[in-house]
């Protein structure tokens, strides 16, 4: 179906995307906020991969896909640590991201338990889970993904973090975005990913993905303004390390996926 | 143990290694928008510690908007660009001849967090594709200085770029690594009123590298 998975993120991941889950409006008007539904409809996408930082947009995305006759594959992106009760700088430094995809309707109840604990008991600067509680709450209705950016491989390769995943309760999938976004450090992460997979005996699948936060490179400036404002910076000084690529748009995915 | 091989291949003893010390000045600190074009590139080519040639290149873009702060800090002078500026293509051909030369190691201060992205903006502004294939040949003195102050060493030359990336993004209260501070630490003269002119920064940066390399065990 897709050579590279289009991994959409909407405005419900606060501060990360300028795409909406609003009513579809054709044709696509780049002078306004663009709905993911519109993009899917105009481009005849049958499956929507939506990776969000919270569950708050889940219902809206579900209804949108239902109206459009599109299959929704919803993933929740969370931080994971060794011990969720440890609210120290060390714990924060050694956190990494995971994505949990919902395989079916029953998965919603499972993800709610993980999400709610992450948002309350284990919250420290951000929603967090830990490997022990993830194992206890895990079910076959869920799929564990290690994302390319901010996952444990990225953190262990490019920072001094020591992220130790304890994901033996499932066989995770790894996303590979090394060829998608024209970033200078992607080859380093890719090399570490390849080494990890080679030495891991679980035959984990590596799937090519492409994160999407806006429609096209023509919206990169608007997206930059959005990110600068959210980061208390300006266009002249954004205060976001490595924020340099205009390749996180849908049109770039479309070009690469051909 | 062979005493003959101690330090073999270390930067400090290699008098044959070619280097390009590079610095640029731009309109602001944005890393991705084509509005932030680099208007000056300076390069000093050296072999070991011997300077071979210098380039001080002003870029004559069709339009340039330099923020007030950037103009003040860098001494931006549109008259110099008008008088001495070369076309963006001419300048890119010169700088890329070093960036993509497999014989040259590239000395930059905070280059991993800044200059590499400006080189990319310059390429994209001319319709060229992104190409960071030179990354593994970078010697980022900002990162290397941090490693020196923290007492950390790279485990090998092969992993030097990963070591530098870790340090490039590392911030700790009290850990200063500006070019001025690094120069002070290594007794390299640094004149405030000349600073942030690309060619001057390259000159002090090369002097800094020639001292810092003695602290790197690879």
pLDDT digits (tens, 9 = 90+) for A129-159: 999 999 999 999 999 999 999 999 999 999 9
Q: How many CA atoms lie within 13 A of B146 on its CB side?
A: 22
What proportion of chain B, given as a percentage, has pLDDT over 90?
A: 77
Say what the pLDDT of residue A201 is: 87
Residue pair B139/B209 in contact (Cβ under 8 Å)? The answer is yes
Q: Which two tokens stand for residue A42?
A: 């105009």
Note whether A244 contacts B120, CB cutoff 8 Å. yes
Closest CA to B134 of B154, B120, B145, B148: B120
Give the DSSP H or E segment for A221.
helix A220-230
Higher per-residue confidence, A176 vs B194: A176
In terms of C-beta density within 10 A (0-12 exposed, 13-18 middle, 19 or more buried), how is residue A109 classed?
exposed
Q: Is A91 an 8 Å CB contact of chain B?
A: no
Task: Report the C-alpha gap between A13 and A52 in whole angstroms.
Answer: 5
Query: Are the C-beta atoms of residues B120 and B96 closer than 8 Å to each other?
Result: no
Tally Cβ neighbours within 10 Å of residue A191. Answer: 14
| Predicted confidence (pLDDT) per residue in B59-78, tens digit | 999 988 887 777 887 778 88
Question: Does residue B130 belong to the interface with chain A, where contact is any CB pair within 8 Å?
Answer: yes
- A157 with A188: CB under 8 angstroms? yes
CA-nearest of A44, A43, A34 to A11 is A34
Mutate to test the interface with B, among A149, A184, A221, A231 (most CBs of B within 10 A): A184
- % of chain A beyond a pLDDT of 70: 100
> Please, are residues A245 and A252 in contact by the beta-carbon 8 Å criterion?
no
Q: Residue B78, Cα to own-chain centre: how many angstroms? A: 23
Note which residues in 223-242 of chain A have CB less than 8 A from chain B: 224, 235-238, 241-242
Decide: B181 and B158 in contact? Cβ < 8 Å: no
> What residues are paired with A143 via a beta bridge?
A101
pLDDT on residue A143: 98
Task: Give the separation between CA B107 and CA B8, rounded to whole angstroms.
Answer: 21
Q: Are the beta carbons of B28 and A237 separated by less than 8 Å?
A: yes
Specify the pLDDT at position A10: 98
In angstroms, rounded to a whole number, what is the distance separating the alpha carbons of residues B112 and B114?
A: 6
Q: Does residue B29 belong to the interface with chain A, where contact is any CB pair within 8 Å?
A: yes
pLDDT in tens, B88-119: 999 999 999 999 999 999 999 999 999 999 99
CB B33 within 8 A of CB B67: no
């Amino acid at each position: 179906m897709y050579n590279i998975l289009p991994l959409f993120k909407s405005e419900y991941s606060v501060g990360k995307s300028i795409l909406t889950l609003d009513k579809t409006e054709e044709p696509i008007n780049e002078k306004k906020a663009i709905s993911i539904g519109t993009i899917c409809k105009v481009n005849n996408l049958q499956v929507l991969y939506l990776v969000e930082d919270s569950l708050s947009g889940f219902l809206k995305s579900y209804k949108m896909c239902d109206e459009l006759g599109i299959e929704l594959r919803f993933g929740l992106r969370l931080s994971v640590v060794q011990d969720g009760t440890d609210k120290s700088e060390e714990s924060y430094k050694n956190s990494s991201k995971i994505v949990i995809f919902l395989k079916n309707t029953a998965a919603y109840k499972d993800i709610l338990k993980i999400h709610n604990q992450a948002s309350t008991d284990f919250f420290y600067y951000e929603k967090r889970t830990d490997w022990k509680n993830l194992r206890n709450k895990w079910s076959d209705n869920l799929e564990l993904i290690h994302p390319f950016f901010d996952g444990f491989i990225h953190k262990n390769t490019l920072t001094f973090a020591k992220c130790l995943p304890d994901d033996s309760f499932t066989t995770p999938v790894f996303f590979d975005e090394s060829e998608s976004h024209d970033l200078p450090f992607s080859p380093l992460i890719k090399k570490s990913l390849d080494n990890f997979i080679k030495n891991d005996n679980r035959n984990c699948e590596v799937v090519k993905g492409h994160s999407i936060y806006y429609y096209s490179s023509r919206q990169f400036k608007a997206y930059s303004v959005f990110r600068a404002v959210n980061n208390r910076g300006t266009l002249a000084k954004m205060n976001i390390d490595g924020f340099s690529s205009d390749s996180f748009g849908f049109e770039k995915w479309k070009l690469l996926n051909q | 143990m062979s005493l003959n091989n101690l330090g073999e291949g270390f930067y400090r003893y290699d008098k044959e290694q070619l280097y390009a010390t590079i610095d640029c000045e731009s309109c602001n600190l944005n890393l991705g928008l084509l509005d932030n074009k680099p208007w000056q590139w300076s390069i000093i080519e050296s072999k070991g510690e011997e300077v071979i040639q210098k380039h001080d290149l002003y870029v004559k873009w069709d339009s340039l908007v330099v923020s007030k702060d950037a103009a003040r800090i860098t001494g931006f002078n549109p008259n110099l660009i008008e008088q001495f500026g070369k076309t963006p293509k001419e300048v890119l051909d010169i700088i890329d001849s070093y960036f993509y030369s497999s014989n040259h190691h590239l000395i930059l201060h905070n280059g991993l967090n800044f200059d590499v992205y400006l080189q990319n903006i310059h390429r994209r502004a001319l319709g060229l594709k992104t190409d960071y294939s030179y990354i593994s040949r970078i010697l980022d003195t900002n990162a290397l200085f941090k490693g020196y102050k923290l007492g950390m060493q790279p485990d090998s030359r092969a992993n030097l770029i990963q070591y530098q990336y870790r340090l490039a993004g590392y911030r700790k209260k009290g850990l200063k690594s500006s070019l001025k501070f690094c120069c002070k630490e290594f007794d390299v003269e640094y004149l405030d009123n000349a600073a942030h002119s690309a060619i001057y920064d390259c000159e002090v940066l090369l002097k800094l590298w020639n001292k810092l390399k003695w602290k790197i065990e690879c």
